[in-house]
Amino acid sequence: MSLPVTDNSAAAESVPRHVRTLIIGSGFAGLGAAIKLQQDGHSDFVVLERSNEVGGTWRDNTYPGAACDVPSHLYSYSFALNPDWTRSFSAQGEIQRYIVSVADKYGVREKHVFGCDVTGARWNAGRAHWEVDTTVGSYTADFVISAVGALCEPALPDIKGIDSFQGEIFHSSRWDHDSDLTGKRVAVIGTGASAIQIVPAIAPKVAQLDVYQRTAPWLLPRGDRAYTLPERLAFKHLPGFQRLSRFGIYAMRETQVVGLAKAPTFMKPLELVARAKLRAEVRDPELRAKVTPNFKIGCKRMLISNDYYPALGRENVDLVTAGIAEITENAIITKDGTLREVDAIVVATGFHVTDSPTFETITGRDGRTLAATFDEGGQQGYKGTTVANFPNMFFLVGPNTGLGHTSMVYMIESQINYVADALRTAERKSVRTVEVRREAQDRYNRDLQERLSKSVWMNGGCASWYLDKHGNNTTLWPGFTFEFRNITRNFDLSAYETTTVAGGADIIAIGADSKDDDSKVVTR
């Protein structure tokens, strides 16, 4: 089946409305899933993308200075290495061009419906399929792969009077390129990963830049450089050279896991590097005190930059730590009573990760939404990929798959392999539905939280977006990434309750003990 590329509802009417597998989102995760399905010989699938192009995070985040904090050679699909990276840490535009080139190379654009925003998904138990509502009509699907990503829904600050501001205001991930900040008084709210790239990029051209900091981040040197011509030629023409370079970067990054997840005392060398950097780049004692973190390094996301501290030292830049009390039509008032007039506000306050609005749109087997399910028991899943009460649905970049040290693409590929094996298993065994058993999910999460209890994320003295409202770290993977790769190498049918269809009767299959053993069946 060939599905047309479209960005309007009229064209979408020609798309067959029932598919075997429906993928939501076309960033690294959704695009990778589409390619894997096609390579496995599946043709009955569609990718719904709310924007007009693939790319996800790297399509949306076009703010000045946007770049990756993972080395280029590691931040790519293992099956589509890019020998043409120009730098050791790539900028946004180069990553987006890479993603687009992969979509074109593997011919999956014809499986996309662009301009198609998913507004709801409900499990129909009677028909054993998903009913998906979109802005271009409705679909049904036997299986759904949610690849909406964790960093797609901007989080806006709850500040008194923010709606009354009459100047230009926009979130970092929705940068207004029609806005010229040259010569203006600008405020940046936030000092996270986006802000530390935006501030140095716009500081030289604005009249005044006020940076509003709630928590000082730990900064490490950014080892960025342009690749030389001999290196680029070697990446392209010397067999195995690029893959060997990629493995070296991977291995080096994995050493950080020891300090982050297993024994926080081993983070001390990185802290010493960060403190030396701070002393060298921030000479003013008052400013240095403001930017010195009050928690263990690694507790919150570690950031890399060579120009953020110098930018804060510019005469036209002020770091404000008093906290925002109110925003008026043309100014920001801090809690100490100081009023600072501004012409434009850049909101760099991150994303809804543990409380994504998309959770409200997915309704499971018992009629509860994913948001209600997570609200009651915390954001839990099984191997970050399936959630009890949501049959035949797979979540890429799901609970506890995030990383604080290396490339998410590695985790995404691990999950894609797991999902692909699940679909192959379902076809081979004539399985109609698969739903992770609650006891399997609970056991998995008890082990996760036990492992996380030893990590710097839980013992570093900070509050971060890694934690949900219950105080559990539901975002990060507590170990080496190759450990996650090992547990997702094969689909473990024994952890799932399944139904099949045999002789016109639904068969309920209760997970067996062995990984791939046929399940005990009961006819209903």
Q: Which residue has the tokens 């798309």?
A: 15
Domain presence at residue 284: no
Cα atoms in the Cβ-side hemisphere of radius 13 Å centred on 183: 0
Cα atoms in the Cβ-side hemisphere of radius 13 Å centred on 73: 22
pLDDT at position 152 is: 66
Domain presence at residue 337: yes
- Based on the structure, what is the number of domains in the chain? 3
Domain presence at residue 272: no
- Which residue stretches of the chain have pLDDT < 50? 1-12, 14-16, 503-524
Distance CA 384, CA 484 (A): 10
449 and 394 within one domain: yes
Give the other-Cβ count within 10 Å of 436's Cβ. Answer: 23
Distance CA 373, CA 165 (A): 37
213 and 318 within one domain: yes
Amino acid in the structure at residue 212: Y
Domain presence at residue 286: no
74 and 56 within one domain: yes
Last residue of a domain, one of 289, 315, 350: 350
474 and 340 within one domain: no
Last residue of a domain, one of 335, 350, 365: 350
Q: Which residue range forms the structural domain that includes residue 517? A: 497-524
199 and 335 within one domain: yes
Phi and psi, residue 209, nearest 5°: -125, 115
Distance CA 150, CA 353 (A): 5
274 DSSP 8-state letter: H
483 and 357 within one domain: yes
Domain presence at residue 264: no
Distance CA 315, CA 272 (A): 28
N-term to C-term CA, the chain: 34
pLDDT at position 353 is: 59
Comparing CA positions, the residue from 16, 345, 369, 333 lying closest to residue 166 is 345
pLDDT at position 358 is: 86
Give the other-Cβ count within 10 Å of 350's Cβ. Answer: 21
415 and 392 within one domain: yes
516 and 436 within one domain: no
pLDDT at position 151 is: 67
Domain presence at residue 227: no
* Residue 77: Cβ-neighbour burial (10 angstroms; 0-12, 13-18, 19+): buried
307 and 168 within one domain: yes
242-284 pLDDT, tens digit per residue, is 999 999 999 999 999 999 999 999 999 999 999 999 999 999 9
For residue 398, the SS3 value is coil
CATH of the domain at 445: 3.50.50.60
339 and 212 within one domain: yes
pLDDT at position 154 is: 74
462 and 408 within one domain: yes
Query: Which tokens go with 260?
Result: 């982050």
358 and 307 within one domain: no
